[in-house]
Amino acid sequence: METPTFAELGLSPELLAAVEVLGFERPSPIQAKAIPVALTGRDILGLSHTGSGKTAAFTLPLLAKLDFSLRRPQALILCPTRELAVQVCEEVHRLGSKLGQLRAVPVYGGAPMDRQLRALRDGVQVVVGTPGRVMDHLRRGSFDVTGIQTIVLDEADRMLDLGFREEMEELLGQLPKERQSMFFSATMSKGVTHLIGKFANNPETIHIDQKSKTVSTIDQSYFEVRERSKVEVLSRLLDMEQARLAIIFCNTKRSVDECTESLLARGYTVDRLHGDITQQMRERVLRHFREGTIELLVATDVAARGLDVENIDVVFNYDLPQDPEDYV
């Protein structure tokens, strides 16, 4: 069944104009179901997989509620990783491009605190951040949560997996009682159920079934090889594919380093992404990859989850992914 148009979801002309500029023709299933409910102010639990369009599903209703005459935080979006926080904040700016005085800032660890302090002091309506750094700002008094009307937990299951439970509970406990809470998660784990029970107010559950576990337009194949032959086989495949841009996923930081060094020794233009790399370096690596200066990116699944890079020709799983969701 075809979803309704964006114009039928109850969005303002300014938001519809931004959606049109971005080239979205029709809402995805999660957007079509979540946006009308969110616009009423009701709490939401959205169960949908990566790539379902959930960012716009919570961002458009959140933007609709902002009072632009107030230069103080009115909405908080929590994300599991720095990259996802940056991407979501960029999407907030894109979807709010016709709203005039929108100010949104990403706050995350590994980046200079003074720049974030300055942005918060100058006045923002939307804060997008990782739980650890958001709590840092809250504890030092640089982030005023008294005006927060909307809280979004994006990839709530992944934040719990990464050990942010205490920060999330402390944060949610300090927000105003009168607020809208939106939880988005790929899975309904015990931890997510606990958070919902403790901090949500009778949320409407919106469950989008994933019809196929993987995307039908992607050709998939696998090769059984010995551990010591992996780099050799990978090199052969890279030469056969002649891909302009390729990502290689590994399960550990050590595996990322070893694979990167082996490919560099074979003359490939390659760089790496994992948790030990500084934020400044990560941003530089991603910029070079997007520009095509480097053709191969070797990364751990945690470092690469939520990355948005266009025109990737091929993805290699150097190690078998531990989580099916990461594979997708």
Q: Identify the CATH number of the domain in which residue 269 sits.
A: 3.40.50.300
Average pLDDT over residues 83-94: 92
- Predicted local distance difference test score (pLDDT) of residue 304: 63
- Residue 218 in domain: no
Residue type, 294: I
- Write out the residue range of the structural domain in which residue 13 sits: 6-207
Is the pLDDT at 246 greater than 60, yes or no?
yes
Is residue 168 located within the same domain as residue 247?
Answer: no
Given 207, 235, 267, the domain boundary residue is: 207
- Residue 274 in domain: yes
Is residue 277 located within the same domain as residue 147?
Answer: no
Task: Share the mean pLDDT of the chain.
Answer: 88
- What residues contact 194, with CB distance under 8 A and at least 6 apart? none
Average pLDDT over residues 10-27: 89
Given 173, 207, 241, the domain boundary residue is: 207
- Residue 214 in domain: no
Band of pLDDT at residue 325, cut at 50, 70 and 90 = low
Is the pLDDT at 231 greater than 70, yes or no?
yes
**What is the Cα–Cα distance from 44 to 41, expressed in whole angstroms?**
9
Is residue 155 located within the same domain as residue 201?
Answer: yes
- Residue 97 in domain: yes
Residue 36 or residue 252, greater confidence: 36
Band of pLDDT at residue 162, cut at 50, 70 and 90 = confident
Is residue 45 located within the same domain as residue 138?
Answer: yes
In this prediction, what percent of the chain has a pLDDT beyond 90?
A: 56
- What residues contact 220, with CB distance under 8 A and at least 6 apart? 214
- Predicted local distance difference test score (pLDDT) of residue 321: 67
Is residue 11 located within the same domain as residue 89?
Answer: yes
Is residue 194 located within the same domain as residue 248?
Answer: no
**What is the Cα–Cα distance from 269 to 238, expressed in whole angstroms?**
12
Given 177, 207, 237, the domain boundary residue is: 207
Residue type, 177: K
Is residue 109 located within the same domain as residue 174?
Answer: yes
- Residue 178 in domain: yes
Is residue 179 located within the same domain as residue 250?
Answer: no
Is residue 48 located within the same domain as residue 99?
Answer: yes
Band of pLDDT at residue 214, cut at 50, 70 and 90 = low
- Residue 216 in domain: no
- Residue 220 in domain: no
- What residues contact 151, with CB distance under 8 A and at least 6 apart? 75, 76, 77, 78, 172, 175, 179, 180, 181, 182
The pLDDT tens digits of the residues spanning 171-184 come to: 999 999 999 999 99
Cα angle 106, 59, 156; round to 5: 70
Give the DSSP per-residue string, 199-230: H-SSPEEEE---SSSS-TTS--------GGGH
Is residue 162 located within the same domain as residue 242?
Answer: no
For the chain, the domain total comes to 2
- Residue 215 in domain: no
Residue 12 or residue 274, greater confidence: 12
Average pLDDT over residues 226-231: 86
**What is the Cα–Cα distance from 153 to 178, expressed in whole angstroms?**
17
The token pair that represents 63 in the structure block: 């933007």
Is the pLDDT at 322 greater than 80, yes or no?
no
Is residue 16 located within the same domain as residue 110?
Answer: yes
- Predicted local distance difference test score (pLDDT) of residue 107: 95
- Predicted local distance difference test score (pLDDT) of residue 24: 80
Burial class (CB in 10 A: 0-12, 13-18, 19+), 266: middle
Band of pLDDT at residue 208, cut at 50, 70 and 90 = confident
Band of pLDDT at residue 212, cut at 50, 70 and 90 = very low
- Predicted local distance difference test score (pLDDT) of residue 39: 97
Is residue 287 located within the same domain as residue 193?
Answer: no
Q: Are 82 and 90 in contact (CB under 8 A)?
A: no
